[in-house]
Amino acid sequence: MIKKIILLPLVSLSVGTAVGFFLYTLERTIVFFESYWMWLIWFLPAVALVVGYIETKKQAHRFGDTESLLAEVKNPLKHVHWFLAPWIYLTTLVYHWAGASVGRESSAIQMSGSIAESLGRLLSIDYRDRPILIRTGLAAGFGAAFGVPWAGTVFSLESAWTKRKGDWLWAPFYLASSWGAYLWTGFLNIHHSHWQSLEINFYDFRFSSYAVFAGALILICLLYEFLFKTLATYLKMIPWWLRLGGAALMILGLTLWVGLPRYNSLGLDLLHQSFQSPSSWQDAFKKLVFTFISTVAGMKGGEVTPLMASGALWGSWLSQQVPVLSFQLGAAVGLVSLFCSRLRIPVTGTIMLVEFFGWKAALVGAPILLLTEAGHRQFFSKKSSEV
Question: Which contacts (CB < 8 Å, 24+ apart) does range 378-386 have?
Answer: 379/222, 379/226, 380/225, 380/226, 380/229, 383/344, 384/225, 384/342, 384/343, 384/344, 385/65, 385/66, 385/67, 385/70, 385/159, 386/65, 386/66, 386/67, 386/106, 386/295, 386/302, 386/303, 386/342, 386/343
List, as one string, the DSSP characters of 108-161: HHHHHHHHHHHHHHHTT--GGGHHHHHHHHHHHHHHHHHS-HHHHHHHHHHTT-
Q: Which CATH architecture describes the domain 2-187?
A: Orthogonal Bundle (1.10)
State which residues of the chain have pLDDT below 70: 1-6, 58-65, 68, 72, 75-79, 126-128, 162-169, 183-194, 201-205, 379-387
Q: What is the Cα 46 distance to its own chain's centre?
A: 25
Classify domain 202-379 at the CATH topology level.
Answer: Clc chloride channel (1.10.3080)
Q: What is the pLDDT of residue 387?
A: 54
Question: pLDDT tens for residues 93-102?
Answer: 999 999 999 9
The Cα 317–Cα 185 span in angstroms is 33
Give residue 135's pLDDT.
Answer: 83
Q: What is the pLDDT of residue 58?
A: 66
Sorted by where each begins, the domain ranges of the chain are: 2-187, 202-379
* Position 150, amino acid: W
What is d(CA 102, CA 100) in angstroms, rounded to the nearest whole number? 6
The beta-strand segments (E) located in the chain are none
d(C-alpha 94, C-alpha 90), whole Å: 6
pLDDT digits 0-9 by tens, 84-142: 889 999 999 999 999 999 998 888 888 888 888 888 777 777 666 777 788 888 888 88
Nearest to 11 by CA among 169, 177, 168, 151: 177
Same CATH fold assignment for domains 2-187 and 202-379: yes
Residue 259 C-beta-side C-alpha neighbours within 13 Å = 0
pLDDT at residue 170, as a whole number = 73
* Alpha carbons 53 and 110: distance in angstroms, whole number: 21
- Show Cβ contacts of residue 332 under 8 Å, excluding neighbours closer than 6 positions: 195, 198, 275, 312, 315, 353, 356, 357, 361, 365
pTM score, two decimals? 0.89
